[in-house]
Structure 1
Amino acid sequence: MRTFKEGDIVQHFKRETVDPATTTYLYRIIGIATHSETREEMMVYQALYGDQGLYVRPLEMFMSEVDHEKYPEIHQKYRFERKDD
């Protein structure tokens, strides 16, 4: 099972479409939070580019595979992967 820990640097699959010398589509994992009403687990992460905003996404979606039918040119297997992998 894939896991991420606080502080890990991850890349979104769309990073394949930009200049790798930039920090575009790189994020730092903040941690996993629980939605207060639905109890759904959410991944909290921070952009390492632009306004360096904080984002939250359902953990299941964060960990999902890339839709290669929609994005056939993408080689990355998962929506987010550790930068070092």
Structure 2
Amino acid sequence: MDVSHPVPGIYRHYKGPLYEVIGVARHSETEETLVTYRALYGEYGLWVRPLGMFMETVEVDGEVTPRFALEKAFS
């Protein structure tokens, strides 16, 4: 996975739930790069998150882990 651009696929959030990354988009006014993704639980909500935030690491119990980790890439 290119650090600056997640590939479409299934990702696990550091809190446990799975999400499907659909793609990367640009905000129409600010041109900010956003990741578009869908929850794979509950009502299967569609979400966007700034690319930098999607790709960042978080610290959990003293360990650094990706906010979203790729589980399965779509070919």
Q: Same fold, TM exceeding 0.5?
A: yes
Provide structure 2 residue ranges, at least 5 long, that are not aligned to the other structure.
none
Task: Give the Cα separation in 1 of the matches to 2:23 and 2:29.
Answer: 18
| Partner residue, 1:4 | 6
Larger radius of gyration: 1
Deviation, structure 1 residue 4: 2.5
Q: Deviations over 1:26-60 (max 9, x none)?
A: 00111001011111000000011000010000000
Identity of aligned residues (%): 43
Q: How does 1:1-85 map to 2 (within 5 A)?
A: 1-2=2-3, 3-6=5-8, 8-15=9-16, 25-66=17-58, 68=59, 71-72=60-61, 77-84=65-72
Provide structure 1 residue ranges, at least 5 long, that are not aligned to the other structure.
16-24
Question: Cα RMSD over matched residues?
Answer: 1.7
Using structure 1 for the length normalisation, give the TM-score.
Answer: 0.73
Aligned residues: 70
Higher relative strand content = 2
Task: Give the Cα separation in 1 of the matches to 2:39 and 2:61.
Answer: 25
Which of the pair has the greater relative contact order for Cα pairs under 8 Å at 6+ separation?
2
Using structure 2 for the length normalisation, give the TM-score.
Answer: 0.82
Task: Give the Cα separation in 2 of the matches to 1:76 and 1:11.
Answer: 15
* Contact 1:13/1:76 (<8 A) preserved: no
SS in 1 for 2:35: strand
